[in-house]
Chain A
Amino acid sequence: MSESPEKKVEYATDYKPLHDGPLKLARGHRIQYETVQGCDVLLYPEGVVQLSETAAMILKQVDGQKDATGIVSSLMQQFPEAGDISGDIRGFLEVAHARGWIA
C-alpha cells in the first residue's frame, strides 16, 4: 500500500560536493555482510542498498580518519596491479556523498 520500502528515501544526486576533510559513514548508516544475499549491504533508516564488491571495498575505507586522497592511496597500495584507479574511486566517493551515505 505504499511505495517500495527499500526506495523510501530518495536523494537528489546533484549536490554536496565532496569535501577535503576526513570522511565517515553518515549518521545512522552501517555496512554488514549478508550471507543470504551473498554480499555486503549498506543499511540506513528504512533503506537497504546491496553493494557490489568494489563499492563495499571503497566504503569500508571510509573510517572517519582518512580523507578522499587517503582512501585512494590506501586502495591503490592494496591493489597495485589495478593500475590508476584514482578517478574511479573518487567518482564513487562523490556519488556516495551526494546520496548521503558518507559525510
Chain B
Amino acid sequence: MSQLPAIKPPLWLLAELTYACPLQCAYCSNPVDFNGHGKTMDTETWLRVLRDARSMGALQLGLSGGEPLVRQDLETLVAESTQLGYYSNLITSGIGMDAARARSLKAAGLDHIQVSFQSSEANQNDEIAGMRAYAHKLDMARAVKAAGFPMVLCFVLHRDNLHRLREMLDLAIELEADYVELATTQYYGWALLNRDRLLPTLEQVREAESVANEYQARLKGKMDIYFVVPDYYEKRPKPCMNGWGSVFLLVTPDGTALPCHAARQLPDFSFPNVQTHSVKEIWQTSDAFNRFRGFGWMKEPCASCPEKEKDYGGCRCQAFQFTGDAAATDPVCDKSPLRHLVDEAVSAARTTTTEKPIIFRNPKNSDRHAKKPAVVAGPQ
C-alpha cells in the first residue's frame, strides 16, 4: 500500500441547490438521469451543509443548479454564507432575476455573479436554451452591473456557435463584463449525450483560439478573457479538479456528496449523503473521496509517468466514459494506448450531419434517456 498524502481541507463547495431550470441546454453538465434523483433538500439542511463545510476550511462557495434563482430561500442561504465568511458566487442563467432581486442579493452579501449566455445572437441563444431568454439575459447582465457586482460572462462554446466568438466578445465589452469565460463544452452529462452534434472541428477550435488571443491582446488590463482548448484536441489530459478529493466538494440537490460534477455515473461507488454523514466524515474518511486520492491507485502508463503530479492522470469520469474503467489513464493523453477512442469520437462527430436531433435537457428526456438498472437474471 503506497503512502497516502495528508488530506487538505476542501477549498471549494459547489452547492447544486436544485435541478429545476427553465432552460433546456443540450450541453448541461447535470446528470442525464437527474429527474429520478432524491428529494431536493430544504433550507435548514443546506444551512447546516454551509456551516459544516466552512468549518472544514471551504472558502469559495458556488451556488448553482439547475437554476439557483428558482429557490425562494436563495437570499437566506447567501446571507448565511456571508456571515460565515465564504466568497459567494452565483452561477445563473439570469432567468428568475430582476433588478430588485439583484439588489436584495447584493444586500445579503453575495460577492459575485456569473451569467451564462448560449450565444451572442438572440435566435440562436433561444434555440439552444429552448426558451425565449436572450433579451431578458441582456437586461439582467446590466442589472447585475448596476447593482455593483463583479460580473463574469460565460459563453458555452460548441460547433454551432463557435463562429460567433467575435460577436460574443463584442457583447461582453458592451456589457462591461469583468471577466469572460469562454467555456468550451466538456462532454459529460447531457453534453455527452449530444456530443456528435456539439463537438467542433479542429479548424473551428484553432480559429476560435486565434480570435480569443487577438481579443486578449487588445483588452489587456480591461477585461480578462479565459479560453480553454477542448481537451479532446490536446495531447495531455487536464488536471481534473486539481486531483480527486483535493480541493473540490459538490453537493447535489438531494444531498449526495461528489468529488466532481460527473462522478455519480461511476460504477462500484457509494457516494455519501450529507443528510446521513457529516461533511468532515465524507471528506476525510469516505471510500468515495479517498478512492482516487494520491497516486497509489494509478495504473500504467500513469503510475510511472513523470507528469502524474501535474495532471493526476486526467479525469476519472472521462476515463470511465471512454474505457469503462475509472482508474484507467484519461484517454485524452497520447501516452494512453486507448487514445484512438478520442480520435474516433472526433472523426465521428465530424461526419455527423445536423439531421441528428438535439436532445434537450428536461425532465421528460431525463426519464427517457436515463440508463435503466441492469436486470438481474435469477429464479423468480
Q: Are A1 and B241 in contact (CB under 8 A)?
A: yes
When chains A and B are docked, how far (Å) is the Cα of A44 from the Cα of B224?
A: 13
A1 B179 Cβ-Cβ under 8 A: no
Chain A, 4-34, CB within 8 A of any chain B CB: 4-12, 15-16, 27-28, 30, 32, 34
Encoded as 1 (CB less than 8 Å from any A CB) or 0, chain B from 34 to 73 comes to: 0000000000000000000000110110100000000000
Minimum CB distance partner of A97 in chain B: B221
Q: In the complex, are the beta carbons of B60 and A28 less than 8 A apart?
A: no
Partner of A4, one of B56, B152, B247: B247
B162 to chain A, nearest CB (A): 19
Q: Please tell me which one of the listed residues B85, B188, B248, B262 contacts residue A5 in the complex, with CB atoms under 8 A apart.
A: B248
Q: Which residues of the partner chain A approach B242 to less than 8 Å between Cβ atoms?
A: 4-7
Interface residue? A83 (CB, 8 A): no
Chain B residues with Cβ below 8 Å from A45 are: 87, 89, 111-112, 114, 150, 152, 178-179
A36 in contact with B9 given A4-B247, A28-B111 (CB within 8 Å): yes
Closest to B187 in A: A1
- Across the interface, B239 reaches (CB within 8 A) one of A3, A34, A44, A48, namely A3
Given contacts A1-B261, A45-B179, contact A32 B241 (CB under 8 A): no
- Nearest-CB distance from B167 to chain A (Å)? 23
B226 within 8 A of A: yes
A43 within 8 A of B: yes
30 A-B residue pairs with Cβ-Cβ distance under 8 Å, sorted by A, are: A1-B261, A1-B262, A1-B317, A1-B318, A2-B186, A2-B238, A3-B228, A4-B247, A5-B12, A5-B241, A5-B242, A6-B242, A7-B242, A9-B224, A9-B226, A11-B224, A12-B216, A27-B150, A36-B9, A36-B57, A37-B57, A43-B60, A43-B111, A45-B112, A46-B60, A46-B62, A46-B114, A48-B59, A48-B60, A48-B87
Query: Which residues of B pack against A, CB within 8 Å?
Result: 9, 11-12, 29, 56-57, 59-60, 62, 85, 87, 89, 111-112, 114, 149-150, 152, 178-179, 181, 186, 188, 216, 220-221, 224, 226, 228, 238-242, 247-248, 260-262, 315, 317-318
